């Protein structure tokens, strides 16, 4: 996700605005450098060169890791900087992170949460839905940057973006499960998915999930673009927010079981479409 997001930033940034990048595997930066980015030798160097830092990492432990140490991001914070957490993490987790970073940097580092939806396809096309939480002045500083990658919408205080992403993932997980179950029923009844799924997409059953995943189900291609196992943490965050708001969630409870069992069956590293295989084989 991070690489195509950065390519769109490079393509649509205001003229003269520098973009600095860093990755654990330097060879992954070559296309970005070719497109006009500058590669930083360390995370500390990246932070000292930046007024806004965008992180696209799996979860909070990985964020904590890149912040820490003598060559970490925190060591390079020398002026007011915005840290944009585009990772999907728990709302409470991002609030706690922001409180700690505010204290550790004497207010120099402010946090905005901006998880995205749209998958690799949306990242490449620059059409991501970007769910933003944070105080209005801080969000305003990074909105032009985020707008190069998709459509950022400010939803409320810090953590609001993560709540929205959890709601998004509830719908995506439930839709993928329903499509997979329907596909297996149809296959076992002798119906060709290559005929059925486009037909369903044209009717009330149509969705963005079905549009982007139908070819994978037809070809039984579960090569990951978005890892199915990540859905577990997203649904866990949704369940925590449901508990906090005293919301009954029978659908969420069922879908969480599906993804917990899918991961336990060893299918977690595959694409989200692997729910189809899980339903078919288990």
> What digits encode the pLDDT tens for the residues 119-168?
888 999 999 999 999 999 999 999 999 999 999 999 999 999 999 999 99
Domains identified in the chain, total number: 2
Confidence of residue 225 (pLDDT cuts 50, 70, 90): confident
What's the CATH code of the domain at 75? Answer: 3.40.50.720
Is residue 165 annotated as part of the catalytic site, yes or no? yes
Final residue of a domain: which of 156, 188, 205? Answer: 156
130, 51: one domain: yes
Active-site residue among 165, 233, 276, 277? Answer: 165
> What digits encode the pLDDT tens for the residues 76-124?
999 999 999 999 999 999 999 999 999 999 999 999 999 999 888 899 9
Domain of residue 102, residue span? 2-156
Return the half-sphere exposure (C-beta side, CA atoms, 13 A cut-off) of residue 95: 11
220, 238: one domain: yes
Average pLDDT over all residues of the chain: 95
Query: What is the reported pLDDT for 207?
Result: 96
pTM, full prediction: 0.92
> What digits encode the pLDDT tens for the residues 31-48?
999 999 999 999 999 999
144, 175: one domain: no
């Amino acid at each position: 996700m991070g690489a195509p997001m950065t390519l769109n930033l490079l393509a649509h940034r205001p003229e003269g605005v520098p973009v600095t990048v860093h990755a654990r595997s330097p060879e992954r930066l070559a296309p970005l450098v070719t497109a006009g980015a500058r590669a930083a030798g360390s995370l500390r160097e990246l932070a000292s060169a930046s007024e806004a830092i965008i992180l696209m990492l799996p979860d909070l432990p990985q964020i904590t890791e890149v912040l820490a140490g003598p060559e970490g991001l925190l060591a390079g914070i020398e002026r007011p900087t915005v840290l944009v957490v585009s990772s999907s993490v728990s709302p409470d987790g991002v609030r706690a992170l922001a409180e700690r970073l505010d204290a550790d940097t004497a207010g120099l580092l402010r946090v905005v949460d901006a998880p995205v939806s749209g998958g690799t396809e949306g990242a490449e096309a620059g059409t991501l839905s970007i769910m933003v939480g944070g105080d209005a002045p801080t969000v305003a500083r990074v909105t032009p940057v985020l707008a190069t990658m998709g459509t950022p919408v400010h939803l409320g205080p810090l953590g609001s973006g993560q709540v929205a992403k959890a709601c998004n993932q509830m719908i995506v997980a439930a839709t993928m499960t329903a499509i997979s179950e329907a596909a297996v029923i149809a296959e076992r009844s002798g119906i060709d998915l290559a005929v059925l799924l486009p037909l369903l997409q044209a009717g009330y059953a149509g969705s963005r999930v079905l549009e982007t995943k139908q070819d994978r189900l037809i070809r039984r291609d579960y090569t990951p673009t978005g890892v199915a196992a990540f859905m577990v943490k997203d649904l866990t965050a949704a369940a925590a927010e449901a508990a906090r708001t005293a919301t009954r969630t029978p659908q969420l409870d069922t879908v969480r079981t599906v993804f917990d069992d899918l991961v336990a069956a060893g299918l977690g590293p595959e694409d989200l479409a692997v729910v189809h295989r899980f339903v078919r084989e288990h």
